[in-house]
Structures are given as C-alpha cells and as structure tokens.
Amino acid sequence: MEHYTMNLTLKVWKQKNKDVRGSFETYRVKDISSEMSFLEMFDVLNEQLVHEGKEPIAFDHDCREGICGMCSMYINGRPHGPWHGTTTCQLHMRAFKDGDTIVVEPWRANSFAVIKDLIVDRGAFDRIIQAGGFISVNTGNAQDGNNIPIEKEKADQAFAAAACIGCGACVAACKNSSAMLFVSAKVSHLALLPQGAPEKRTRVLNMIAQMDKEGFGACTNTGACEAVCPKEISLENIARLNKEYLGAAATIDK
Amino acid sequence: MLDSKIPPGKLEDKWNDYKGHVKLVNPANKRKLEVIIVGTGLAGASAAAALGELGYRVKAYCFQDSPRRAHSIAAQGGINAAKNYQNDGDSVFRLFYDTIKGGDYRARESNVHRLAEVSVNIIDQCVAQGVPFAREYGGLLNNRSFGGTQVKRTFYAAGQTGQQLLIGAYQALERQVALGNVTMYSRHEMLDIVKIDGKARGIICRNLVTGELERHFGHAVLLCSGGYGNVFYLSTNAMGSNVTAAWKAHKQGAYFGNPCFTQIHPTCIPVTGDHQSKLTLMSESLRNDGRIWVPKKKDDPRKANDIPEDERDYYLERRYPAFGNLVPRDVASRAAKERCDAGYGVGTTKQAVYLDFKYNLINKYGKTEAGKQGIENPDQETLIRLGKEVVKEEYGNLFDMYEKITGENPYEVPMRIYPAVHYTMGGLWVDYELMTSVTGLYALGECNFSDHGANRLGASALMQGLADGYFVIPYTLGNYLADEIGTKPIPTTHEAFVEAEKAVADRINKLMNIKGKQSVESLHKRLGKIMWEKCGMARNAQGLKEAIDEIRALKKEFWSDVRIPGEINEMNPELDKANRVADFIELGELMCIDALNRAESCGGHFREESQTEDGEALRHDDQFMYVSAWEYKGDSDWQLNKEELNYEVIKPTQRNYK
Ligand SMILES: Cc1cc2nc3c(=O)[nH]c(=O)nc-3n(C[C@H](O)[C@H](O)[C@H](O)COP(=O)(O)OP(=O)(O)OC[C@H]3O[C@@H](n4cnc5c(N)ncnc54)[C@H](O)[C@@H]3O)c2cc1C
Ligand code: SF4
Ligand code: FES
C-alpha cells in the first residue's frame, strides 16, 4: 500500500449548544497522512486549534473500531462518509486526495437535537428500546442454553439484524428522518428467535408507537438508510417489521 | 486490616453455603433502598438489570450518550463457560484451574472457583435474553478455543461477542428503566465519592452536556467503570476508558490492588505513526486458525507470500509445542517482542510479526468444506475459495476491520501484528463480596482486581463482568443492605455532599485557570510513552525508578502548563479529558511503584531481573505470594498492605506451556 500526505480544506459545522444557531467554519489542515483515520485527522485539527487558543470541534466517538455506534459525522453529504459499510471512525484518509475540500455536519433530524458542533442527542433510540426492544426474562430463571435449539439460518439472520450499532445514520440519510431501519433491526432480531416469540405482538406495536411519538418520519421505502448503514442492515428487516406490525395490529384487540 | 471475607468450608461448597446463609432484604424494604451504579458495561448493565429486577431503586451512570456504548461493546472473541458441550473434558474445576494457572498463581482461589461455577448460568441467561450466539447446523451452541486452555469452551457471536452480550444486558437494563426501577443518567461522569460516617453514600458527577455538578445519594455505591489501560495512551481500549472513578474511590480510602498487572495482547494492528490515537485488537480467537511466524533470515526483504515454508520460523510452535499458537497472552507477547528485538520483525517499522491464515484456510476449512460438498480432489484454488467462505463467517468483521485500517487484504496476505496494551488485571481491591475497603462501596468487572491474578486468559473478562453483575452482587449486596433498611435517604444538602461538590468544583477551576501552553493530548501521549517504555512488556528496577521521577516531573508540568479551552458550564470534552489525564498521571506513578516493589516476574508483569534460563517469567512465591493492596496516604505517598494468598487446592508450580 502506497502512503501519501495531503493538505485539505474542511468546512465544519460549529454550534455552541442546542439553543443557538450554528454555522459552517472553514479550517485548513496540512500533511495529513493517508494512513490516518478520519477521526485522527480531526485530532490533528483539534490539536492545532488548541495551540492557536481556539476551541476544538466537539464530536462523539469512543471505540474507534466501528462497534460502539458513537461516532456520527455527515461527510460530504453522506452519513459516515464515502466508504460503504463503514463508520466514521473506520473511514481512513486513503479515501481522500490532496487539495480536497471536505464538508462535515452533524446528523440532521428533528428527533436528534444538536447538542454541540457535531454532537447530537440520540436519546430517542434508548426510549424506543425501552418501549419493547427486549425479552422479558429476569435474571436467574433461565433453562439450559442448549434446550432451545435454533435453526442455524434463523440464528444467523437474527445475528445479522442484531449487528445494528444504534448509530442513527439511517435516520440522518432518510429524507423523512425515519427510524424504520433501526427499529426493524431490533424487531427482527427478537422476532426471529423463539425466545422472543411470546412478546412479538406487543413489542412491534409499542416500539412503533414510541418511534412515532419521538417524531421520526414515515418510511417511504427509498432505501437511503440501507445504503449508508455501516452494518449493512438489510431492508428485508423493514419488510419483516411491516409483516409483524400488520399481523399484530390485526390480532391485538383481544 | 485486610479481611477478604472468604467463607469457610470446602472450596466447592463456599459459594453455595454463602448463598444459603446470606442476609436477605424483603421486597418491601428493597423499594426503600437506593443503589448507585457507575458504569453500564457488562458489569454495570447486568448489575443494574439484576438489582432493578429485585426491586432496588437503581441509578445508573455512564459518560457515553447511551449505556449501550460502554467499552464492553468492543469485545470480539468470546466468553468462556464450563458447559462441556463439546464433551472434551471440561468442567468447573478445569476452568477454575486454567484461570488460576493462567493468572500465574496470583488470584484468590475462592473467587475464581465461584466464577467458574456461575459461568454456566451466564450462557443460559444470555440465551434466554436472545443473545444470538453462534450455532451449529443442529441448532445447538457452538464453541471455539482460546489461549491458555486445551478445551473448547468459548461461546461467541462472530467477532462481536461483546456487542451481543452488552446489547442483551442493555436491553434488560432498558426494560428496568421502562418499569421505573432504574433511572439512567447518560453523559454523566462521576467525579467523586461521598462518604458519610465512613460509608459510601453517594457521588458527585458532572453533567457532560451542561457542565453542571450534581449530587446523588445511594445507600450503596457500585463502581463498574472498566479498566485503565489508557494510562499507556495507546491501547485497545475505547478512547474514553479511564481510571477516574476508581481513582477517586482510591483517594477516598479504597485500596488499589496490583496496579502494575497489565495485559499486553499479542495480536494487535501495529502502530503506524505519531498520529495514532488507539490500537486495534485482532481477536485472540484468530490464533485458533492463524499461525504466527517471522522469517528465519534477519531483515528478509521478500514479501510474506514469497518466503517459502522452510524459511519461516513458527516460533510459538517451535518453543511451545504443547500449546503452540495458543499459549497465554503474556507468553505470546513476550515471544513476539523477543523476535522483533532480535531483528526478525517484519513490515516497515520491523515491529511486527505475521499472523497467517493460509494454512488453515486450505487444510482445515477448505478441505472440510470440500468434503461436505462432496468435491473430490479439489485443487488449491477451490480449497482457498471454500476456506475463505468459512473464515468470512467466523471472523469476517475482523478481516474487514483489518483491511480498512491497513489497506491490505488479510485473505491474501498475512496480517501484520504486534502486542499492545489491552487489559488491566489490577484494580480496586475487593473482598469476596466485591466490597472495597470503603464500607458500602463495591467494585465489579474490570475495575476490580480480582479473579485474573497476574494475567487474564482470553474470553474471561466478559465472563467475570457478567458473573459479578448478574450472579454475585445480587447476593452480596443484600448482605450489606439488610443492615441498612433503617437508613433513610440522606438529603444531598448534607454537609458531606456540599464539601465533596466544592472540592470537585475547586479542582475544575484550578485546571481551567492554569491556562498554559500544552494540550491535554500531548501530555497524555508523553505519559503513555514513559509507561510503555519503562513499565510495559519488560520492566527493570532502574527503568522504573526513572519512570517514577519522570512521571512526577510530568505531573508538575501538567498542573502548571496545561491548556484547556472552552468553559466550565458547557459541554467541554477537553476538560473531561484533562480530569481523566490528571488521574492517569497519579495512577502511573503508583503502577511503577508497585512494579518496582514486585521484584519477581509473574504473568504479564515481567521483571528482567527475574527470568529462567530460557527467558520465561520466574516467580518468587516465597516473597511475593500476595496481593499488593495500596493505601493512599497523600500526594505521592502510599502504604503497602498485603493480602497473603493461600492455595489450598491448587499447588502453584512454574507455569509450563511446552
Ligand atoms: C478490543 C477489546 C476486545 C476484547 N475482547 C474480549 C473478549 O473477546 N473476551 C473477553 O472476555 N474480554 C474481552 N475484552 C475485555 C473486556 O471487554 C472488558 O474487560 C470488559 O468488557 C469490561 O467490562 P466492564 O463492565 O468492567 O467495563 P466497561 O465495559 O469498560 O464499562 C465501563 C463503564 O463505566 C462507565 N464509566 C467509567 N468511568 C465513569 C465515570 N467516571 N463516570 C460515569 N461512568 C463511568 C462507562 O461509561 C462505561 O459505561 C476485550 C477488550 C477490548 C479492549
Ligand atoms: S440500522 Fe444501521 S444506520 Fe441505523 S442505527 Fe443501526 S447500524 Fe446505524
Ligand atoms: S467510535 Fe465507536 S463506532 Fe465509531
């Protein structure tokens, strides 16, 4: 792999807190190595800002391994930037070339208020899980794990859905700010497993009700979410959710 | 002084007897008792869920924006349990034995045995919650092998085991939030413990969004705040992982156990340059299928794939024929360092070795798949293609991650790997009940010192975190709270809260007013460098003494020249970082003092002065068969307390993986 360095122009959203309006600011960074991660490039910029006596840019991040779901930058018009199936923290500077201008914004959605600069409030996702994204089993009651054989294919599908990291890129990509991909991933994960069956109906109804209450928009099946999802959560999950929802809505009034 | 409260009786009966006799709190009283839980990783989330289910009023805290993002989410390879589903000779005793031996005989027998006992319940609990563990075609749970053992007892979910386990615990936690039993405080950082009449009664924390300080009361306080590997700056830990919660507890009287016991993980992606902000682990499970080697020739300029088989040195298989590539982490790390120091390293920096999958891709997976599909005499290409499919299913996300970071395709060329700081066995000293030396203050998960001795075996941290949270604390906490049912919630206007908050505010003001020239990050990097060079994979008395002086000087520099932009009463990540780094500096000093005191090699702690003829760690059981429990006395001043370790069942021997 050939490495190179580059000089870049960055247009980054700055916003002091949720009550004031933000705006873009322009920064320049030099000698960025193609081996750096995108966030390491931001580290360089922030070090530079601290040395200049300016306030660094606030952004969310933690694991930097693409798994915690914390990082969330809208890069050149795309959540998590240009690489397919990749979080912001796993995006590397090889994706850019010398002289590029990169525009970086926070997730934009009514349900995700900007807290500062590139940081948004994704608390709505936790509340959707509280509405039903679990299996009601208290600690200490479990039977032997191997008493519940699960068809490998089903288990694999449940795993694929459970891979969602709750980052919110799907919402940010959607013109309606729908959270359907996120919700459907959880509904699918649990509905595909026999352990999740007893609460199947209430789960999907309650989660959808909470999603609506949080102000996420409707799903019009454009697929923008799937295209940007760093964990490649499939639209099939939305189809499954719709099926579950219709089934549940039809049988719920007992 | 140090009472580890190990129950009497035979080792295998202790926990059952304890549970049978422990004091209980009735349901009506549980509702009157408030429990603070700092941290929502596997330890904290499982404790919060379990205690919420029991009816306690729980308040849980994390500094991320959601409890689901705790660092446990990043665990890759798997979780151990003595299920013996493979019928390969596993048992509770064997898991117990492997863990004690892997820890180089520096862990407490009673705790480790309990851990092995409850390991089986963990798997059942997680399955019931819907954790999608890997399964075989028959629908039953699958296992893989990990280092330091000769059985297959590791349960996993591809390379995302921690994520799936944490999501399980997180969902159980959120369910309790919905039921009103748990109140969740995200983006909150605990900055001190409040003690009243010698008992932990609350915390002071900073709301990271507004910058305001808050006071919270609890009848008991549980710290589940994770490990402190980031004292080295570069580690496999998440960027936010820090020692602050544990360190504040330490300064309030909780002893710090074995601070120098750090685990350096052998298989991580090597450092590329100064810009590096963290190191990425390539799970130990890869050593199942990858073979580690370096060229036999020094400075071999050829590409890995051009070096013929007989010119490769599979040094682990050569040195440790019995365990081969699956020796414990400390052994594998030192062996890699030894080869690189001797000039056989690969890659541009020469600080790397190869982890090569080709052999097993073809021979293990390729051939099995071909057999399954009835392909006779498959050619090399077919075998590679078939093998790749299996490897993709097992480790796909790790291979993708490697490629994103390095730009190289590990299906085609061997990975380059090098050891990196990964885990801290040391932590707050706790007794059998997980209580620290401060009454009413508990420590669970990686932030306590227990169970792993001087070296942790792979896939055992997840097991410990969940054991502590789901199965141990629900019993042991009751034993304490049973005597607290008469204690009314103490209003946070109590002078102890006022004073604690003032002390935190003063320190923050002091930090903000330094207005120096150096960034927090640059000072943290320098601390990391000192620690890595002098208190890292190999340590000696002279280096450690130098390190102590250097860290003291760095501390002065930090407190006179750090620059923190922004303001106090707003979101200020630089200030958060400064708070943490200030604590890391103090911890670094204690780690070096501990490493200097322990003039033996054991597990991950390698003192160059103490090695066998063939370079293996040499323990001195006659002098160091104890846990170092450091008591904070004042600035740069600690007193050593010793908890003697008594091995009643296992006979400590020189570890041998040959
Ligand atoms: C890359 C990687 C891979 C790993 N893979 C494995 C594996 O395969 N198998 C295995 O067994 N182990 C593995 N480990 C180790 C294991 O993941 C950890 O030891 C374990 O998850 C720690 O869990 P914990 O609950 O103790 O802490 P953490 O998960 O680190 O959680 C800490 C919590 O404390 C909170 N916190 C910390 N300080 C404060 C504060 N001051 N105020 C408020 N909240 C605070 C954080 O917000 C977080 O919620 C791995 C570790 C790493 C780094
Ligand atoms: S579905 Fe994908 S994009 Fe949406 S939250 Fe989950 S991982 Fe992120
Ligand atoms: S920082 Fe964790 S997913 Fe990016």
Is the shortest distance between the CB of B461 and ligand 1 below 6 Å? yes
pLDDT per residue over A190-212, tens digit each? 999 999 999 999 999 999 999 99
Tell me the average pLDDT across B564-586. 98
Shared-domain flag, residues A245 and A149: yes
Q: What is the pLDDT of residues A221-249, one digit of tens each?
A: 999 999 999 999 999 999 999 999 999 98
CA distances B282 to A67, B576, B641, Å, are 14, 29, 37
Residue A253 has pLDDT above 80, yes or no: no
Q: Which residue shows structure tokens 């399964």?
A: B135
Q: Is residue B138 part of a domain?
A: no
A139 shares its domain with A217: yes
A135 and A48 within one domain: no
Query: Nearest-CA residue of chain A relative to B132?
Result: A159
CATH of the domain at B328: 3.90.700.10
CA-proximal residue: ligand 1, atom 16 (nearest): B461
Looking at the fold, whether A171 and A246 belong to one and the same domain comes out as: yes
Cβ of B565 within 8 Å of Cβ of A54? The answer is yes
CA B134 vs CA A153, A250, B139: distances in Å: 11, 34, 9
Mean pLDDT of A78-104: 97
Residue B266, pLDDT score: 94
Q: Contact A158/B67, CB-based, under 8 Å?
A: no
The answer to whether B27 and B47 are in contact (CB under 8 A) is no
* Structural domain total, chain B: 1
Condensed to tens digits (0 to 9), the pLDDT of residues A12-50 reads 999 999 999 999 999 999 999 999 999 999 999 999 999
The CATH number for A228's domain is 1.10.1060.10
Identify whether residues A107 and A131 lie together within a single domain: no
Q: To the nearest whole angstrom, how far is the Cα of B41 from the nearest Cα of chain A?
A: 11
Average pLDDT over residues B117-145: 96
3-state secondary structure B297-350: CCCCCCCHHHCCHHHEECHHHHHCCCCHHHCCHHHHHHHHHHHHHCCCCCCCCC
Structure confidence by residue, pLDDT tens digits, B590-611: 999 999 999 999 999 999 999 9
Residue B60 lies in a domain: no
The range of the structural domain enclosing residue A11 comes to 5-115
What length is written for chain B? 658
**What is the B224 CA–ligand 1 centroid distance (Å)?**
9
Q: Which residues of B245-269 are buried (b: 16+ CB within 10 A; e: fewer)?
A: bbbbbbebbbbbbbbbbbbbbbbbb
Distance A245 CA to ligand 2 centre (A): 20
* Angstroms from A253 CA to nearest CA on chain B: 23
- C-beta atoms of A85 and B50 within 8 A: no
Q: Is pLDDT above 90 for B422? A: yes
Whether the CB-CB separation of B575 and B511 falls below 8 Å is answered with yes
Report how many domains make up chain A. Answer: 2
Minimum mean pLDDT range among B86-100, B456-470, B644-658 = B644-658
Strand partners, A44: none
> By CA distance, what is A158's nearest residue in B?
B132
Say yes or no for a CB contact (<8 Å) between A123 and B66.
yes
Task: Provide the shortest C-alpha distance from residue B123 to chain A (in Å).
Answer: 6
A185 pocket-lining for ligand 2 (C-beta < 6 Å): yes
Of B55, B129, B195, B118, nearest to B477 by C-alpha is: B55
Does one domain contain both A35 and A145?
Answer: no
Q: Which residues of B429-581 form beta strands (DSSP E)?
A: 441-443, 518-519, 562-563
B172: nearest CA partner in chain A: A134
Say yes or no: A127 and A178 in one domain.
yes
Task: Assess if residue B95 is contained within a domain.
Answer: no
Across B536-543, average pLDDT: 96
pLDDT at residue A254 tops 70: no
In a domain, B217, yes or no: no
pLDDT of res. B523: 98
Give the nearest ligand 3 atom to A64 CA.
Answer: 1
Check residue B354 and give its pLDDT: 97
Which chain B residue's Cα is nearest to A135?
Answer: B129
Query: Do A12 and A111 have their domain in common?
Result: yes
Compute the average pLDDT of residues B181-208: 98
Question: Looking at the domain assignment, is residue B296 inside a domain?
Answer: yes
Residue B280, domain extent: 265-421
Is A89 close to ligand 3, i.e. is its CB under 6 Å away? yes
Token pair of B469 as six digits: 């949270």
Compute the mean pLDDT over every residue in chain A, rounded to the nearest whole number: 96
> Residue B614's pLDDT is what?
85
Residue A1 has pLDDT above 70, yes or no: no
User: A152-162 and A180-191 helices cross at what angle (nearest 10)?
Assistant: 150
Mean pLDDT of B279-301: 92
β-pair partners for B427: B257
For chain A, the distance separating the N- and C-terminal CA atoms, rounded to the nearest angstrom, is 63
Cβ contacts (< 8 Å) between A165 and chain B: which residues?
73, 163
This prediction's pTM: 0.97
- Measured between beta carbons, the chain B residues lying within 8 angstroms of A61 are 239
Read off the pLDDT of each residue in B50-79 and give the average, rounded to a whole number.
97
Out of A60, A85, A115, pick the residue that ends a domain: A115
A143 shares a domain with A108: no
Looking at the structure, tell me whether residues A108 and A130 fall in a common domain.
no
Atom number of ligand 1 nearest to Cα B39: 34
Q: What is the pLDDT of residue A146?
A: 97
Once rounded to an integer, what is the mean pLDDT over residues B65-86? 97
Final residue before a domain boundary, out of A67, A95, A115: A115
Q: How do residues B202-242 score in pLDDT, each as one tens digit?
A: 999 999 999 999 999 999 999 999 999 999 999 999 999 99
Of A43, A47, A133, the CB nearest to B171: A133
Q: What is the mean pLDDT of chain B?
A: 96
| Average pLDDT of the residues in B530-549 | 97
Write down the ipTM of this complex: 0.98
Size of interface A-B (CB pairs under 8 A): 225
Burial code of B516-534, b = ≥16 C-beta within 10 A, e = fewer?
eebbbbebbbbbbebbbeb
Per residue in B256-274, pLDDT tens?
999 999 999 999 999 988 8
Q: Is A91 in the pocket of ligand 3 (CB under 6 A)?
A: no
Q: Is B445 in the pocket of ligand 1 (CB under 6 A)?
A: yes
Q: Which amino acid is at B336?
A: A
- Say yes or no for a CB contact (<8 Å) between A155 and B135: yes
Residue in this structure with the two tokens 């997180």, named with its chain if needed: B170
For residues B22-38, give the mean pLDDT.
97
Q: What's the one-letter identity of residue B461? A: A
**Which of A115, A136, A158 is the C-terminal boundary of a domain?**
A115
Which residue did the predictor score with more confidence, B29 or B658? B29
pLDDT bucket at B428, cuts 50 / 70 / 90: very high
